[in-house]
Amino acid sequence: PSKPPLLQLRGFSVAYGPVEALHQVDLDVHEGEIVTVIGPNGAGKTTLLNAAMGLLRSSGTLAVDGQVVPRVSVERMVAHQVALVPEKRELFGEMSVEDNLLLGGFARWRRGDRTQRARMEEVFAIFPRLRERRAQMAATLSGGERQMLAIGRALMARPRLLMLDEPSLGLAPLIVREVLHTVARLRELGVSVLLIEQNARAALQIADRGYVLEMGAVALHGPAEDLLHDRRIIDTYLGVG
């Protein structure tokens, strides 16, 4: 018998009052996978991540390692080692890169514990730029560096699944590539990724599988490689270039 998915959503729906924003979504993230969800503005991508993290009330089922999580809450998802980097990165601007990272691991802090330092070294191995700037105030980092710090901070808690909400938002195209390239390297830390992106091409290039969300429902899903060559996806989401 094959291993159940790390994260599995079945018939997953979310409503804002009378308005259904997410409709019966089925989605899997297997251990070691990078899965991306692409789709236009307002398709429900942010809603999907926030509900999967327990920030919004949902219906349907969410399972971790094949075990259904009842009444999905942030506390339960954190206990299952799921982390979310929201679209607003919300760093502590007046604190150094290093202190921002240490705060991310705070929940796992033990007195006399050296594992946080070791973890920081692992994060620095993925983001050498953060090592160079470890003493610099977060507020003075570039947009790309701030995004890397937000991801690095979430990694400090040693998540098994990292959910990223549009890490490329507001970044120049070259920096988008750099940030997504580092997301691809999270595999080295044994972290699985659920990545929400508007930048469909760049996201599909680093992902194993992709889902296309349209008006709150999954319109299409499959191996990222297939989606990159799908005529409909090319015409609607990839454009020229």
- CA nearest neighbour of 25 among 15, 16, 33, 17: 15
Is 167 one of the binding residues for ligand ATP (CB under 6 A)? no
Q: Which positions ≥6 away from 45 have C-beta within 8 Å?
A: 37, 38, 39, 165, 166, 196, 213
Is 47 one of the binding residues for ligand ATP (CB under 6 A)? yes
Selected binder of ligand ATP within 24, 46, 136, 205 (CB under 6 A): 46
Is 44 one of the binding residues for ligand ATP (CB under 6 A)? yes
Cβ 219 to ligand ATP, closest distance in Å?
13
Residue closer to ligand ATP (CB basis): 21 or 151: 21
Is 41 one of the binding residues for ligand ATP (CB under 6 A)? yes
Selected binder of ligand ATP within 11, 42, 66, 128 (CB under 6 A): 42
Query: Which residues lie across from 209 on neighbouring strands?
Result: 35, 223
Is 144 one of the binding residues for ligand ATP (CB under 6 A)? no
Separation CA 125–CA 142 (nearest Å): 19
Residue 47 phi/psi, 5° resolution? -60, -40
Strands 67-68 and 59-64, by their bridges, are antiparallel
In the complex, the residues that contact ligand ATP under the rule CB under 6 A are: 16, 19, 21, 39, 41-47, 198
